[in-house]
Amino acid sequence: GVIGVVQHRAPMENSDKWAEGDNGYLKQDQVIAAFEAAGFEFVAASEINANAKDRPSEEEFVWRLPPILGTSKDDAALKAEMIEIGESDRMTLLFRKP
């Protein structure tokens, strides 16, 4: 069988601890390694859901961006900034179970 994964992608320069998922982000290499450890074969990655404008600091989380806008509901300037970034940078991965 095959499985596709679309997940919020953490910047590689952010710490592994920050990118464990609590902030909504995971590192692409860690997701691939976890699937391979579970016996899946990595087939392909696509940049169809990439967004280079999403560059979170380690103090931020994915829900600051649309459609949630969790940190800017009462701050028009911050809300406009988050809308300008758009939705999160997401990895799109395909795996196969041999």
33-58 residue pLDDT tens: 999 999 999 999 999 999 999 999 99
Which stretches of the chain drop beneath a pLDDT of 50? none
Q: What is the pLDDT of residue 65?
A: 98
Domain residue spans in the chain? 2-96
The owner of tokens 């991965």 is 93
Handedness of CA 32, 52, 46, 64 (dihedral sign): positive
pLDDT, residue 47, reads: 99
Whether pTM exceeds 0.85: yes
What pLDDT is recorded for position 20?
96
Tokens encoding 3: 């499985």
* Radius of gyration over every alpha carbon of the chain, rounded to an integer in angstroms: 15
Task: Dig out the tokens for 93 from the structure.
Answer: 């991965």
Kindly give, in sequence order, each residue whose CB lies less than 8 Å from that of residue 43, ignoring residues fewer than 6 positions away.
2, 94, 95, 96
At residue 82, the pLDDT reads: 98
